[in-house]
Structure 1
Amino acid sequence: MKSQDIRKQFLDFFQSKGHLIVPSAPIVLKDDPTLMFNNSGMAQFKEFFLGNGTPKSKRIADTQKCLRVSGKHNDLEEVGIDTYHHTMFEMLGNWSFGDYFKKEAIHWAWELLTEVYKIDKDILYVTVFEGSKEENVPFDQEAYDIWKTLIPEDRILLGNKKDNFWEMGDQGPCGPCSEIHVDIRSADEKAKTPGKDLVNADHPHVVEIWNNVFMEFNRKADGSLEKLPAQHVDTGMGFERLCMVLQGVQSNYDTDVFSPLIQKIEAVTGASYTMKASGEAEEKTNIAIRVIADHVRAVAFAIADGQLPSNTGAGYVIRRILRRAIRYGFTFLNTKEAFIYQLVETLAAQMGGAFPEIVTQKNLVMNVIREEEQSFLRTLDQGLQLLDNVIAETKGEEVAGEKAFELYDTFGFPKDLTGLILKEKGMSYNETDFDKAMLEQKTRSRAASEVSTDDWTVLVDGNVETFVGYDQLENEVKITRYRKVDSKKDGMLYQIVLDHTPFYPEGGGQVGDKGTLSNSNESIDIIDTKKENNLILHFAKRLPENVNGNFVAKVNGGLRDHTASNHSATHLLHQALRAILGTHVEQKGSLVNPNYLRFDFSHFAKVTDAELKQVEDFVNERIQEHLPLVERRSIPFAQAIEEGAMALFGEKYGDNVRAIKFGDSMELCGGIHVPNTADIWHFKIVSEGAVAAGIRRIEAITNDAVKDYFASQEKALDEIKSALKNPQDALKAVVSLQEENAKLAKQIEALLKDKVKAMKTGLVSELQEINGVQFLAKQIDLNPEGAKDLAYEIGATGQNIFLLLATADEGKPMLTCYISKELVAEKGLNAGQVVRELGKYIQGGGGGQPFFATAGGKNPDGIAQALEKAVDFIK
C-alpha cells in the first residue's frame, strides 16, 4: 500500500465516524510563546483543551506536520542513527472535544488497524496507565476493561507515568494514555524474546505507532492536578512508522516516504544506501543518507511555512538541522559542493498532493537551502584552517576541549569532524572539557530564558473576553483573570485578561498596543499586549489594588496612530512590489511598529534604485488619492479569496476572516489600519537589502517619521554648506572637491611608487643568506599597499627570497610575507602558514597564497617579536 493511500484511508475512516477533516497547521508557530514549532498533532488545538475557544466541530481529524528538535521533545541526535526517529514527521490524529471518550477512541483505533489496514492482531501490544500514588491518580481500569474485550490480557501491559501519562507542558491539560505498539521482528527473534519484554525498550522493530491520550486533568503551577470541566480525546499515530508496518519493511527509511529521496541522494552523490550494512563504512554512509533524507524534509517545510534560517530562535534551529545534514554529507559522502537543495524537487513531487505549500514555495526553498549550503561549506573550509592553527599551537597530542568548543560555538565547526581530523593526525581533544564548556553555555542560555508561571486567578467564569479595538481606543472593562509570570529576561510581570479590551495583541507583524488601565483611585501602565491560546494578555509590572473594580482601558493613541500608518503603508507596499517587480512577489515576514515598517518579500534580484523610486511613487500616489478603508470583519475565507483578497502564506486562517481594502489592494488582515490613506501623509524607503537567497527586505517610514527624516536631511545639507564655506551651488562645490582629491591621490600614489623604488635598492642589499635562503625581516614606514608593492619588487630581483615586512600605518600592525615560488615548491614553505603563526604576536591573523600572504592585528608592540621569530621558519 502506497503512503498516499495509507494517509487517505486514515482520513476517510474518521470522516466516516463523523469527524471534520482539517488541513495541517503550519509547522512554524506564531502565536504560542511556549513552542517554537508544532511538535504534536494537538498543538493547534490547545485553546480548545484550555477552554479558551470553541472548535468548529467536536470531532476533528487531520495529518499534522510536526517538528521535534528543541525543548522537551528533542529527537535530533537520534535521527539517522536509528531508523524510526525523525525531525519532521506526520502525526495522524483524531480529536474529541468533550464528545466521545475512551470507549470510542479505543474501539476505532483497533478497528482501523486490524480491519481496515488488516494488521495482524498477534503482533500488537497495548499499554495502559498503571496509576500513581504520588499524583493520586488511580490505575486506568476503564481503559484496561475496554481493551480486554479486544485483545488477550497478556498483551495488555501496564505503563508508568513516564510512558503512559501525557502532559502538554509543565502546566495545562494532561491525562493517562493508552499506546499501541507493534512487533515486526522475524519469527526467530520473537521465539528468543517475547515482544512484551521489548515494549518501550527502544527496540527498532518493537515500536509505538499510536497513542490515545485521555485528557481529564489540568496540571496546576504547584504540580497538583484538578479535573477538567470536560473530557477530551487526543490521539496521534506516527505516519512513517505506520507505513513501515503496512509496507512490510524493517525501517521507516525503507518505505516510499523516504525511498525517492534516498534514490535522489544516491544519484547526486554517487553513494549507495544498503538496507543492511555489512561494515562500519557502509553503516556510516547509511547514517549520512538517512540524516540528509530526514533533515531536508524538516528544513524545506519550515522554510515553506515562513521560517528562514538565522542565528536566533526558531531560525537557528532550522539552520542547525540543515548544517547537520551538510556536515554528514561533507564528512561521509565526500560532498564538497551544495547538493541538498536538489532534493526539494523530489520532495515537492512526492508530498505536494497532501501539502501544496511545498509546491508553491519550491523555488524559494531551493534558493534558500542552496545559499545556506554554500555559506556553511565556506565555514567548514575556514574551520579547517582554524583547526590547523590550533593543531600547530598544541603541544602534545591532545587539543584543549575549550579550543574545540570555540571552533564549534563561534564558527559552527562540528565536534565530530574535529575529532575525525585530529584522529587522522594521531591526536584527540579533551571531551570532558568540551562537554563542560557546552554545559556551561546551555546553563547560561536556559537561565536567560527561564520562566515560571503561576496559575490563573479567575475572577469571572466563562469565555467573556472580546476585542473592541477596531472601533475605540478607550473602554470600560473588568478584569476576568490574571496571573504572575517571572522570567530572567523580563523580570516579574503580570498578565491581565479584560472582558472587552481595546488593546490590539501582537500579531501579523504588528506590535501589541500600550496604554493604561485606570479608575478614580489608581492607574497602571500596560506595557505590551500579546495573544496566547486565544486569550489577549495585557502585561503590567503590577496589579491594581482592587482587581475586582471597574476600570477604563485606554490605548496610547499616538503610538496606535503611527503603527496603523505603517501597517496600512505595508499593504500598499506589497501591492506596489507586485505591480512593479511581478506577481511572484510574496510577503515573507513583516514588522510594524510606531517608528517604522519592515517588509520581507520573495524576489530573485536586488531592487534597483529606479525600481525603488517607482515603488515609492506608487505608494505615495495611493496616499494622494485619499483612498478610504473598506473593512469586512467576518467574511467566509473562500469568498474573500474568490473576490481577490491576498492570503499570506504560512498564516493560519479561520472559516471567517477580516478583509482590508484600499483601492485595488485587498488582503486578509487582523491588524489596525488608518481610516484613509491620506492619514499616512508620506511614504519613504530608507533601506533595501538581502535577507536570504531569494528574500529581500525593505525598511520604510511614514507620517511624522518622514517629517523628522526630511528635517534631518535639511540639517545635514546646511552643515555641508557651512563646511564648504556656504557656496551658491553646494553640489558643484562637492564635485570640485572630489576632483581635487582624485588629483592629490594620484600624486600620492606616484610619490609612494618612487618611495618603494628608493627603498627597494637599500633593502635588497640587506638580504642575508641563511641555509641557502635570501632572508629579510624588517619593519618599514609604508602603508599596507606600499608594503605589498615593495615585497613584489624585491621578490622580482632574484630567487630563494623569504621576506617578512611589518608596517604600523596609523597604529594598525600588518605583516606582509613574500616567499619565492621555488622555496614553496622545494622546501614546502608557505606564506599563509607563516603569517597565521606570527600573527598571534600582533594579536591577529590572516592568510593568503603559499607565496604571498598578509596578517593584520591589534598590537603593534608585538611586531619586534614577530620579526625575530620569522627566521625560525628557515633555520
Structure 2
Amino acid sequence: MAQDKSWTAKEIRQQFLDFFQNKGHEVVPSAPMVIKGDPTLMFTNAGMNQFKEAFLGNRQPSSSRITDTQKCLRVSGKHNDLEEVGHDTYHHTMFEMLGNWSFGDYFKTEAIAWAWELLTEVYGLDQERLYVTVFEGDASENLERDDDAANAWKAYVPQERILNGNKKDNFWEMGATGPCGPCSEIHMDLRSNEERAKVEGASLVNQDHPQVVEIWNLVFMEFNRQADGALKALPAKHVDTGMGFERLCMALQGKQSNYDTDVFQPLITRLSELSGITYGTAEKSDIALRVIADHVRAVAFAIADGQLPSNNGAGYVIRRILRRAIRYGFSYLNLKEAFIHKLIPILSQQMAEFFPEIRDQKELVEKVILEEEQSFLRTLEQGLNRLDQIRQESQSKTVDGARVFELYDTFGFPPDLTALILKEEGMSFDIASYESEMQKQKDRARSATKVDTGDWVVIEEDDREEFIGYDHLEAKVRITRYRKVKAKNKESFQIVLNLTPFYPEGGGQVGDHGKLISENEEISIYDTKKEHGLIIHFCDKLPENPQAEFKARVDSKRQKSTSLNHTATHLLHQALREVLGTHVEQKGSLVNPDYLRFDFSHFSKVEDEQLAEIERLVNQRIRANFPLEEYRSIPMDEAKEMGAIALFGEKYGDLVRAIKFGDSVELCGGIHVQASGEIGLFTLMSEGAVAAGIRRIEACTGDAALQYLNEKASLLSSLQQELKNPKDPLAGLLKLKEENAQLKKQVEAFQQAQAAQERKAWAQAIESIDGVDRLILETSLDAKSIKDALFQLKADKPQLAAVIASKNDGKANIAVALGDAILASKDWKAGNLVKELAAEIGGGGGGQAGFAMAGGSKPEGIEQALAKAKTLLQ
C-alpha cells in the first residue's frame, strides 16, 4: 500500500481542496459544528447540513460548485457512533468530512470520474484495493437500481468490484425527513497481501471489517423525504459527497487504524506523557487513550463554536462526552486530577491553520474544560462514597439496578464504572432493572418533547418569501404554504408568507408577535422563527380561507421594547470591551421586550466599580443620541474594514448587515432603534458566572429600567424605616448582623454545655448486656449535637450500640450508632437498623454501617420506635 509520496494530514486536506478548486469549485469554510435555526438537528452530523436550504430550493448557494472540509459530530439520534468510539479503529465523535458539491450543475458521471482521478492519480491509492457500491433499488419505495452510477463506474472499475448495496447502505438520508437519494460508496481494503489472498475483499465490504472500510460516499440528491414517508422529487438534482478525512489519512499513511495517523498521534503521545502509560501495551489503556484523544476534539471545537457544557440540550451532549473522557482517564490511566485541558495546546497547534477558531478561543476552551474536569472529579468522589453506601446496604451480591440508575441520574456516575468497582468487590448489579429505569426516563423525555410535524401544504410556489421588517411593520401578504404541528396533544399551525414584516428569532432577539387580518377574521401570530431559509409564523388556528389576501401587522409596542434592549446590547458590548479589555467577546444573548441578557468571555468577577463605569458609559452613549447607521448587504471584507465585530459560532454569508451607533459597529440582523437616545435609560440588574470564563449581565432599558429603579428606591425606603436609621441604613444593617452573630455564639455555647451534660447522663444510662453497651433513649438535643455526642461515645466505647430519638418542630428524628467492635462481631448495620425504626415515625433515612439517621412526620411513634430498638439490639 506504499504511496509514491509520504502524505501528512495537512497535505492531504489541502490537496483535496486544491483539486476541486481546480475543477471550478469555490472553497468555503466549515460551518460551526453546533447548529442554529434547524429544529431537527443539534449538531452538524454531515457535510451537507450547511447546504440543506440550497438542496430544498429555499436559498441560492454562493456557487453551483463548492468544496470544503466540514467539522461533524455524531453522538445522538440516528447517526450515533459514541459507543464504538475508541473500541474500534475508525469511529469518531468529531470528524472531518471532505466534500464537493454540485447544486443543479454536474451529476453522477463527473462526480464519479473526479473521485477516481483524485484517489488513484493524485493520491496514488492502489486501484486493486478499491471497491465501489451502487444502490440495488427497493421495491417497497418503487425505486429501481442505480444503473446510471453503475455504468459510470464501468469506465474505471472491473465489474467484479462494482457491488450492489441495499437501502440501508446505499440510500442516504440525513434524518426522518429532508433531502435524500441513492449513493455510491468507495471502500478500500487495507489488509495485508497475505490476508487478501485468503479472503476476497468484495465479501467484506459493509461487513464492519476494521481493515475494509468506506472512505468516500458520493450521494446523488434527487428526493425530499416527506413527513408521511413519501419521496418527492427535488427542484433540481445535486451531488453531495463526503469523504472521511481520518480514514483517508489512514489509507494514505499505510496505517491499520485512524488513531495511528498524525491526526491523533500527537494527542496520544501527550496523554502517554501525562499518564506514564505507553500506547500499544494493553487493550484497556489503549481504548482509554483513543477515547480521550477523540473526545477532546469534539468538546474543544463545540466550545469554540459557542456551545458550553450544560445540563440540557446540546450542552448536555458535550458534557456527557467530556465526562466520558474523564472517566476513562480516571479508571484506566490512573489520572485522578484534571488533565484534558492540557491537550488543548497540541490540538490548537495541529488544527489552527484550517480551523482558526480553536486558536482564537484556546484560552476559553482550556478554562471551561478545566472547570468541568474539576467539577466532575468531585462528583466522582461523591459517587464513590454513595456507591460504597449502596454496596454496604445491599442484601445480596447483586445490587438493584434502580439504585445504580439513581447513582447515574443524580451524580452522573457512569454505570460501567459502577460495574467495574462492584466487580472488584465480587459483586454486580441487575442490568435488566437498570435498563428498565433508563428506558422509563427516555420515554418521559420523549413524550415531553415529541413534536409531530406534518408536510407542507403548498398553495403557491413563490420564491420571494422575503423579510421587509426593517422598513415596514405591516404589509399586504399571501400565504404560500402551511403545515399542521402536534406537540403535547396540542394542535397548532405554521405558515409561510410571500413576504413578511415579522422578524424571525435570531441573533438573540425573540421572534415578533402580531396578527394576520382579513375581511372576515384575525389570526394571532404568537411567534416567528426561521427554518431552512423559510420564515415561519406560528398560530393556534389556520385561517378559514388560506388563499385569501391578508394584512400582516406586527405588535409594534412589543417590537419597540425589544429594539431598545437590542441596541443596548451593542452599547453594552462596546462598554465591556473598553472597561475590561478587548478579550471580551459575546458568547450569547437574549433580547426580549422585558430585559436583556448578555453572556461574554471574561475570567474574573466584574468589580462593582467596573460595573458602575460600564453602566455610566452605556448611558452616556444613550444621551449622545447616536443615529443608526445601517449597512445592508455589504461584502464581509468591507464590514471588517469598518471594524465590525462578528460572533464566534455564527455562519455568515458573503453579504452581511452591519449596525453602527457611534463607535459601536457589529454584524447584526436584528431590529434596532433609529437613534440611541430612544433607549432613554439603561440599568444593570445582575452580573455573575455562567461557566468557566463566561460571565452574564442582565439589564433593562426604558420604562422597565425606570420601574426597576423605583422598586429599588421603595425597598430602600422600607429598609430605612425598619432599621430606624434613615440616614445610614447600611450602618444599621451591619450593627444588626453583629448582634445576630453574638447571639449565635451564645446559643452555640449553650448547646455545647447542654450536650456535655447529656453525654454524662448517656454514659450513666448505658446498659452492658452480653458484651454490648446498649444505649436507647430520647433527648432534646438538635441533630448535630446528637451526632457529635455519639461519635465521641463510639470512640470511647467500641462496643456501643446506640439509638437516640428526638423531636423538633413537630417532626421526629432517630440516630443509630454502632462501635467498631460491634461492626466486627455482629451482622448489624446502622443504615439497615435506622430504616426499620423509621417506619414507626412515618419516615425514612439511611447512612453508613457505623452511623445513620432518619426523619419522620410522626413524633408520636418515637416510643414504639425505641421499644422496637430494644428488640433489634438484643
Q: Which amino acid aligns with 2:565?
A: N
Specify the alignment match of 1:71 in structure 2. Answer: 77
SS at match of 2:141: coil
1:453-492 equivalent positions in 2, closer than 5 A: 453-488=453-488, 491-492=490-491
Specify the alignment match of 1:322 in structure 2. Answer: 322
Deviation of 1:420 (Å): 1.6
Kept after mapping to 2: 8 A contact 1:576/1:619: yes
Specify the alignment match of 2:254 in structure 1. Answer: 248
When residues 542 and 829 of structure 1 are mapped into structure 2, their CA distance, relative to the original with a 3 A threshold, is: farther
1:655-666 equivalent positions in 2, closer than 5 A: 655-666=654-665
Deviation of 1:104 (Å): 0.5
SS at match of 1:645: coil
Kept after mapping to 1: 8 A contact 2:81/2:91: yes
Kept after mapping to 2: 8 A contact 1:126/1:156: yes
Deviation of 1:768 (Å): 4.0
Deviations 1:750-809 (A, max 9, x none): 444443444344333224446767664544223345546656887898897776655444
Specify the alignment match of 2:4 in structure 1. Answer: none
Q: Which amino acid aligns with 1:283?
A: E
Deviation of 1:433 (Å): 2.0
SS at match of 1:368: helix
Which whole-Å CA distance do the structure 2 matches of 1:154 and 1:682 have between them? 76
Q: Which amino acid aligns with 1:416?
A: D
1:304-703 equivalent positions in 2, closer than 5 A: 304-488=304-488, 491-703=490-702
Q: Which amino acid aligns with 1:516?
A: K
Kept after mapping to 2: 8 A contact 1:383/1:413: yes
Deviation of 1:222 (Å): 2.8
When residues 601 and 802 of structure 1 are mapped into structure 2, their CA distance, relative to the original with a 3 A threshold, is: farther
When residues 734 and 220 of structure 1 are mapped into structure 2, their CA distance, relative to the original with a 3 A threshold, is: closer
SS at match of 1:208: strand
Kept after mapping to 1: 8 A contact 2:837/2:869: no
Which whole-Å CA distance do the structure 1 matches of 2:639 and 2:856 have between them? 61
Identify which of 110, 126, 130 aligns with 1:120. 126
Kept after mapping to 2: 8 A contact 1:88/1:294: yes
Deviations 1:149-204 (A, max 9, x none): 11100000011111111123222322111110000111221122111101111111
Which whole-Å CA distance do the structure 2 matches of 1:3 and 1:825 have between them? 65
When residues 812 and 583 of structure 1 are mapped into structure 2, their CA distance, relative to the original with a 3 A threshold, is: farther
SS at match of 2:765: coil
Bigger shift: residues 609-618 or 196-205: 609-618
Bigger shift: residues 199-208 or 391-400: 391-400
Which whole-Å CA distance do the structure 2 matches of 1:574 and 1:668 have between them? 13
Which whole-Å CA distance do the structure 2 matches of 1:555 and 1:585 have between them? 35
Deviations 1:476-506 (A, max 9, x none): 11112211222238x3221111122111111
Identify which of 149, 157, 160 aligns with 2:163. 157
Deviation of 1:870 (Å): 8.0
Kept after mapping to 2: 8 A contact 1:685/1:700: yes
When residues 734 and 334 of structure 1 are mapped into structure 2, their CA distance, relative to the original with a 3 A threshold, is: closer
2:99 counterpart of 1:93: yes
Deviations 1:269-317 (A, max 9, x none): 112211xx6xxxx211111111111111101100110111111100111
Root-mean-square deviation (CA, aligned residues, Å) is 2.9
Identify which of 29, 32, 45 aligns with 1:26. 32
List 4+ stretches of structure 1 deviating above 6 A: 725-729, 792-804, 815-819, 825-830, 862-875
Specify the alignment match of 2:228 in structure 1. Answer: 222
SS at match of 1:134: helix
Identify which of 134, 138, 142 aligns with 1:132. 138
Which whole-Å CA distance do the structure 2 matches of 1:305 and 1:659 have between them? 21
Specify the alignment match of 2:265 in structure 1. Answer: 259
When residues 858 and 242 of structure 1 are mapped into structure 2, their CA distance, relative to the original with a 3 A threshold, is: farther
Specify the alignment match of 2:3 in structure 1. Answer: none
Which whole-Å CA distance do the structure 1 matches of 2:341 and 2:835 have between them? 38
Q: Which amino acid aligns with 1:470?
A: Y
Deviations 1:10-35 (A, max 9, x none): 00000000000000000000111110
Q: Which amino acid aligns with 1:691?
A: V
Which whole-Å CA distance do the structure 1 matches of 2:832 and 2:375 have between them? 23
Which whole-Å CA distance do the structure 1 matches of 2:577 and 2:126 have between them? 56
Specify the alignment match of 1:148 in structure 2. Answer: 154
Kept after mapping to 2: 8 A contact 1:815/1:835: no
Kept after mapping to 2: 8 A contact 1:838/1:870: no
Bigger shift: residues 217-226 or 120-129: 217-226
When residues 727 and 257 of structure 1 are mapped into structure 2, their CA distance, relative to the original with a 3 A threshold, is: closer
Deviation of 1:637 (Å): 1.0
2:192 counterpart of 1:186: yes
Kept after mapping to 2: 8 A contact 1:727/1:733: no
Deviation of 1:817 (Å): 7.7
Normalising to structure 2: TM-score of the pair? 0.93
Kept after mapping to 2: 8 A contact 1:28/1:305: yes
Bigger shift: residues 133-142 or 311-320: 133-142
When residues 755 and 452 of structure 1 are mapped into structure 2, their CA distance, relative to the original with a 3 A threshold, is: closer
When residues 253 and 631 of structure 1 are mapped into structure 2, their CA distance, relative to the original with a 3 A threshold, is: same
Which whole-Å CA distance do the structure 2 matches of 1:80 and 1:368 have between them? 24
Deviations 1:229-288 (A, max 9, x none): 2110000000000000000011001111011111011110112211xx6xxxx2111111
Which whole-Å CA distance do the structure 1 matches of 2:872 and 2:299 have between them? 47
Kept after mapping to 1: 8 A contact 2:64/2:105: yes
Bigger shift: residues 632-641 or 236-245: 632-641
When residues 311 and 139 of structure 1 are mapped into structure 2, their CA distance, relative to the original with a 3 A threshold, is: same
Deviation of 1:89 (Å): 0.4
Which whole-Å CA distance do the structure 2 matches of 1:145 and 1:88 have between them? 35
Which whole-Å CA distance do the structure 2 matches of 1:858 and 1:716 have between them? 39
SS at match of 1:632: strand
Structure 1: unaligned runs, 5 residues or longer:
none
SS at match of 1:90: strand
Which whole-Å CA distance do the structure 2 matches of 1:111 and 1:249 have between them? 22
Q: Which amino acid aligns with 1:442?
A: K
Kept after mapping to 2: 8 A contact 1:526/1:539: yes
When residues 480 and 816 of structure 1 are mapped into structure 2, their CA distance, relative to the original with a 3 A threshold, is: same
Which whole-Å CA distance do the structure 1 matches of 2:448 and 2:153 have between them? 46
Which whole-Å CA distance do the structure 2 matches of 1:435 and 1:146 have between them? 48
When residues 223 and 737 of structure 1 are mapped into structure 2, their CA distance, relative to the original with a 3 A threshold, is: closer
Which whole-Å CA distance do the structure 2 matches of 1:450 and 1:307 have between them? 23
Which whole-Å CA distance do the structure 2 matches of 1:306 and 1:135 have between them? 40
Structure 2: unaligned runs, 5 residues or longer:
1-6
Which whole-Å CA distance do the structure 2 matches of 1:416 and 1:167 have between them? 33
Specify the alignment match of 1:234 in structure 2. Answer: 240
Q: Which amino acid aligns with 2:261?
A: T
Which whole-Å CA distance do the structure 1 matches of 2:219 and 2:184 have between them? 6
Which whole-Å CA distance do the structure 2 matches of 1:701 and 1:803 have between them? 59
Deviation of 1:596 (Å): 1.6
Bigger shift: residues 745-754 or 470-479: 745-754
When residues 871 and 351 of structure 1 are mapped into structure 2, their CA distance, relative to the original with a 3 A threshold, is: farther
Deviations 1:722-752 (A, max 9, x none): 6567968755655554455455444434444
Which whole-Å CA distance do the structure 2 matches of 1:223 and 1:759 have between them? 76
Which whole-Å CA distance do the structure 1 matches of 2:452 and 2:340 have between them? 41
Which whole-Å CA distance do the structure 1 matches of 2:773 and 2:573 have between them? 66
When residues 252 and 732 of structure 1 are mapped into structure 2, their CA distance, relative to the original with a 3 A threshold, is: closer
Identify which of 18, 41, 63 aligns with 1:12. 18
Q: Which amino acid aligns with 2:295?
A: H
Which whole-Å CA distance do the structure 1 matches of 2:475 and 2:440 have between them? 49
Deviation of 1:136 (Å): 1.7
Which whole-Å CA distance do the structure 2 matches of 1:299 and 1:228 have between them? 35
Which whole-Å CA distance do the structure 2 matches of 1:758 and 1:81 have between them? 63
